[in-house]
A and B are shown apart, each in its own frame.
Chain A
Amino acid sequence: MLVIPCMLMVLLKLMFGHAGGSFDRVGPQVFGIFPVIVMYLVGSVSTLRERTSGTAERLLTLPMQRLDIVLGYCLAFTFLALLSTLLAVGPLGLEIKGPAYLLMVVAMLGALLGLALGLLVSAFARNEFQAVQFLPAGVLPQFLVCGLFVPRDEMHGSLAAQAKVMPMTYAVQAAGEAARHTGVTGVFVRDALLILVCVVGVLVASAATLKR
């Protein structure tokens, strides 16, 4: 959980080693993507295990609220995302114009988004296998159109429109903003708020699926 994101960043850096400024363009955007995918996987499988092993049911019979469980997961996962971002930003010499904490904010929001999606999916998947199958269906399309491969304004109109309704796009955009500007921009704040609203919405929906 901590070492592998760093290894991926090192790999990315080596890959773009000769391409000049490409790493500085792509590197930050990755902070909007990796946390979503990683936390989606870990989140969906671990909550699915809670559901299938009966521990979720047991927790619900204890004096705690559904929100307690969901928020507990959020807290743990954002903390992990924070640590792995610290490790990835620190020694890699990723050059961004804005302050580094903005990237951490993006990574934490991304982790929350991934976790929320994973929690929601675990309600519909019957086992871990199905939960992982939801990854190419729900998360990878966001990854493709989020603007990492092709800038969004060069995409076909309908694709660009699709990208606009996918939350990961805003995580990538926010990371790009943080890399290109020295301070907190209006677009960054708007994107961060959009992701947060999305996270809260999905979390509420998934808390509702933790039925008694």
Chain B
Amino acid sequence: MKRDDIHTKRPAAFGPTAINVYGLRVTLGNRAIFDDISFTVPRGSIVGLLGPSGCGKTTLLRSVVGIQRSTAGHVQVLGHPAGSPALSSRVGYVTQAPSVYADLTVLENLRYFSAALGMRGWRREDAVVRVVKEVDLAEYADQPVARLSGGQCSRVSLAVALLGTPDLLVMDEPTVALDPLVRRELWSVFRRLADEGTTLLVSSHVMDEADRCDGLLLMRGGQLLASCDRAELLAHTGCDSVESAFMRLVNPSQGAPAPTRPPVAAGLVPAPSPASVLVDVPADAHASFFAQEAAR
């Protein structure tokens, strides 16, 4: 019987936690999306939430933003309960589909949402000009969003989220379906934001994205498989890529990465088996943990 738990102290440079999730459960109808999810995200870091499509990533992100009703557990964001009014201008949320008005121009969208954030006059114009520069859309600023390409659209959506200079930026698959150049550009924006002290929680089903994250949350079928950084994950599983490490965690007996889609992706969440125990629920900000897998 192999135990998959490791305890590694995170470098102190990351500071206090931005997100603290404990025992979170979300059910829709009779179906449990996930049960008993716990993790922490340190401030000023980029954390990637990785997992196959349909494993509950979006629901988890929505819980962090505070627009998902949870059945049990609690989510603490920047020292407040998720979704509390104090957070509304400090947390930016970028949904999977670009949520901007397609008939308006880039500038009109930004002006509208900055007004909704309560900005007026020169402060508003300042913020609009700043985010247009940040996402590098200056030459398209007067174009209707409907005429922009997919990548430009999602950059507009990102720009809207940056308007309020959020302390926490939650992004749902911001780089999926983008060409490699745009993706690289976006990641350099993310990195700069993190260096300036913003915390970023980014979801993706592309495991390669893990290389650019400080911390990783691996998810599958409504269960959190791992919460650690990339080096820890690779060292622990003895794999050379995050993708094979993920497959190793899903099925420890299997050495090689299996190309099969996990059965849970079909929408069924397996009942937690008795041997599947969360080994180290983080009591403090610096602990990381692995969830143990039952399959042997």
| B:58-114 near A, CB below 8 Å | 65-67, 69, 83, 85, 88-89, 91, 93, 95, 97-102, 113
B89 and A63 form a contact (CB under 8 A) = yes
Given A58-B93, A62-B113: A212 in contact with B85 (beta carbons within 8 A): no
A205 to B240, CA, bound (A): 55
A interface residue count range (under 10 / 10 to 19 / 20 to 34 / 35 or more): 10 to 19
Q: Is A133 located at the chain interface by the 8 A CB criterion?
A: no
- Minimal Cβ-Cβ distance residue in B for A63: B88
Which stretch from A20-28, A49-57, A164-172, A183-191 is at the chain B interface? A49-57
Q: How far is the CA of A59 from the CA of B164 in the complex (A)?
A: 13
Judge if A158 is at the interface, Cβ distance under 8 Å: no
User: Is there an interface contact between B88 and A58, defined as CB atoms closer than 8 Å?
Assistant: no
CB distance from B163 to the nearest CB of A (A): 9
- CB of B116 within 8 A of CB of A61, answer no
Q: Contacts A63-B89, A212-B66: A57 and B99 contacting too (C-beta < 8 A)? A: yes
**Contact partners of B97 in chain A: CB under 8 A:** 53-54
Contacts of A212 in B (CB 8 A): 66-67, 69, 83
Does the CB pair A54–B95 fall under 8 Å?
yes
Do A64 and B93 have beta carbons less than 8 Å apart?
Answer: no
B117 touches A54 (CB 8 A): no
Contacts of A23-70 to chain B: CB distance below 8 A? 53-55, 57-64
**Quick check: is B118 within 8 A (CB to CB) of the other chain?**
yes
How far, in angstroms, from A153 to B160 measured CA to CA in the complex?
A: 57
Enumerate chain A residues within 8 angstroms of B67, measured Cβ to Cβ.
57, 60-61, 212
Asked if residues B95 and A59 are in contact (CB atoms below 8 Å), the reply is no
Could you tell me if B117 and A63 are in contact, using CB atoms closer than 8 angstroms?
A: yes
Is the beta-carbon distance between A63 and B85 smaller than 8 angstroms? Answer: yes
CA distance in complex: A58, B164 (Å): 13
**A61 and B65 contact, Cβ closer than 8 Å, known pairs A54-B95, A212-B83:** yes
Q: A167 CA to B99 CA in the complex, in Å?
A: 35
Interface pair A53/B102, CB less than 8 Å apart: yes
Q: Beyond A61-B66, A61-B88, list 7 extra A-B contacts (CB 8 Å).
A: A58-B95, A60-B67, A61-B91, A62-B113, A62-B117, A63-B116, A211-B69
State the interface size on chain B (CB cutoff 8 A).
23
* A127 CB, nearest partner CB in chain B, Å: 15
Pair B99/A63 contact, Cβ less than 8 Å: no
A55: contacting residue among B85, B101, B117, CB under 8 A: B101
Distance in angstroms between the alpha carbons of A59 and B69 in the assembled complex: 17
Chain B residues with CB under 8 A of A211 = 69
Chain A residues near B66 (CB-CB < 8 A): 61, 212
Query: Contact residues of A with B, CB < 8 Å?
Result: 53-55, 57-64, 211-212
Question: Which residues of the partner chain B approach A53 to less than 8 Å between Cβ atoms?
Answer: 97, 99-102
Measured CB to CB, the closest approach of chain B to A48, in angstroms, equals: 14
CA distance A212 to B65 in the complex (A): 10
Nearest chain B residue, comparing its CB with the CB of A72? B116
Q: Are A58 and B89 in contact (CB under 8 A)?
A: no
For B160, the closest partner residue in chain A by CB is A58
Contact A58 B118 (CB under 8 A): no
Residues in A whose Cβ lies below 8 Å from that of B116: 59, 62-64
Q: Which among A60, A62, A63 has the highest number of chain B CB atoms within 10 Å?
A: A62
Report A-chain residues with C-beta under 8 Å of the C-beta of B113. Answer: 58, 62
Chain A residues with CB under 8 Å of B91's CB are 61
Chain A residues with Cβ below 8 Å from B117 are 62-63
Q: Which residue of B lies closest to A60 (CB)?
A: B67
Q: Which residues of A contact B69 (CB under 8 A)?
A: 211-212
Bound CA–CA A64/B113 (angstroms): 11
A126 to chain B, nearest CB (A): 16
B101 closest partner in A (C-beta): A55
Chain A: CB-nearest residue to B88: A63
A61 to chain B: closest CB distance in Å?
5
Contact with A along B147-179 (1 / 0, CB 8 A): 000000000000010001000000000000000
Q: In the complex, A212→B102 CA distance in Å?
A: 23
CB pair B88–A62 under 8 Å, yes or no, is yes
CA distance A59 to B93 in the complex (A): 10
Interface centre among B66, B67, B99, B101 (most CB of A within 10 A): B99
Question: B93 to nearest A CB, angstroms?
Answer: 5
Contact call A54/B88, Cβ cutoff below 8 A: no
Q: Are A54 and B99 in contact (CB under 8 A)?
A: yes
Name the residue on A nearest B94 (C-beta).
A58
Q: Which residue of B lies closest to A69 (CB)?
A: B116
